[in-house]
Every structure is written in C-alpha cells, then in structure tokens.
C-alpha cells in the first residue's frame, strides 16, 4: 500500500470516501464555496476538510490563500521542498490528516518509500541535503519552537537557505513558532 493518490488501496475499497466525509455540516451554498470546492477537486481530486470548514468564512479562506500564494511565491523553496517541510511538520505534530495529504504530494514528487520515511521521522536517503535539513528543522520547531537556536538555522544556511527569498535569518526560527502556537490554541478552541 503506497501513498500515491493514483492507486486504490484496500482501505479505500473497504471505506470509500463520500462527498461529505466530515462531522461538519456544509456551509451555505455560495459562488465562493463552489469555486473553492472546484479548486480542491481540480488540484487534489476531492474536497479537503479544511476547505469545507473555511467555506463558512469564504472571505477568510480567500485571504489565507492569497497570503499563502504570496509567501510561497516569494520563496526560493521548490514544490518538493514545500512538500518535505509540510509533511515533516504535520507528522511531527501527529497530524494524521495533513501527514497523509502532504505525504501523498511528497510521494508524487519523490516516491512512496521516501514519503513514508519522512512521515515516520527516519532517515530518507532519497532526500537532498537541503530537503533533509528542512525536514529536521521542521521537526525541531514542532517539538519545541522556543528552543530553536542559531545553530538550528545554521544548518539551513549551509545548504543554501536563509537568503531573503527563503524567509531570512530570524524568520526561519520565529515565523513557524508563531504559526504553531496559533494552531495549537485553535485546536484547543482558544485561538
């Protein structure tokens, strides 16, 4: 059983996904909701749960997507770098939903074994030094964002990261820490 989305797994055969596989009720019908659902179906082949949630506030979803595109567009990180970074972050945070979603993307860009290794937190020989450094840094930030040091970011600089287009210097340490703290508070309902 692999991570590649193009393959059917025994799990999928036994428990096929339905259009609404969430405990959340659907947001009211709107053009923004239909456009967001269509974007997900085109990109991923299904509607993501986070999209269903944010369609209750399509204005916030739109603002988030614009911010994400802006941040990713101004970064020198490649698609594979992003997939490694997000997969390692999600896996270290025990987020099975995002680990699977981003692990699937990573498997498409690498292979099933590499995606599984990144999710498991073990060595992934097929990763470049840059990708391995991103995965290691992501795990450190998830484990204890306030304990990251200049030494933790030095490895990223050694592999060519840390220039202004990457999230320069101190941002390599502080930006994800703030995001992770917000996500943890939001999950507890105190966001």
pTM for this entry = 0.68
d(CA 67, CA 31): 21
d(CA 10, CA 166): 40
Contact yes or no for 159/133 (Cβ under 8 A): yes
Mind listing the pLDDT tens digit of every residue in the chain (191 residues)? 344 444 444 545 555 555 555 566 789 999 999 999 999 899 878 888 888 888 999 899 888 888 878 877 777 888 999 999 999 999 999 988 889 889 999 999 999 999 999 999 999 999 999 999 999 999 998 998 888 888 888 888 898 887 544 444 334 444 444 445 445 544 554 33
**In the chain, what are the domain boundaries?**
27-73, 79-188
Residue that has been written with the tokens 């020198």 in this structure:
76
d(CA 9, CA 179): 33
Q: Tell me how crowded residue 162 is: count the other CB atoms within 10 A of its CB.
A: 19
Query: How many residues in the chain?
Result: 191
Options 1.20.1290.10, 1.10.287.3510, 3.40.50.620, 1.10.10.10; CATH of 79-188:
1.20.1290.10
């Amino acid at each position: 059983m692999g991570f590649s989305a193009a393959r059917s797994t025994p799990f999928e055969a036994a428990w096929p996904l339905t259009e609404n596989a969430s405990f959340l009720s659907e947001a009211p019908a709107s053009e923004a909701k239909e456009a967001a659902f269509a974007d997900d179906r085109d990109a991923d082949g299904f509607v993501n749960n986070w999209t269903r949630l944010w369609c209750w506030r399509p204005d916030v979803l739109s603002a988030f997507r614009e911010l994400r595109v802006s941040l990713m567009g101004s970064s020198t990180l490649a698609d594979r770098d992003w997939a490694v970074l997000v997969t390692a972050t999600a896996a270290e945070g025990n987020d099975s939903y995002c680990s699977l979603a981003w692990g699937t993307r990573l498997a498409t860009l690498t292979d099933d074994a590499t995606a599984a290794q990144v999710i498991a937190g073990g060595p992934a020989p097929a990763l470049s030094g840059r990708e391995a450094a991103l995965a290691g840094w992501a795990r450190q930030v998830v484990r204890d964002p306030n304990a990251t040091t200049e030494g933790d970011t030095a490895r990223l600089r050694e592999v060519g990261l840390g220039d202004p287009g990457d999230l320069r210097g101190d941002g390599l340490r502080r930006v994800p820490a703030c995001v992770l703290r917000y996500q943890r508070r939001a999950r507890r309902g105190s966001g």
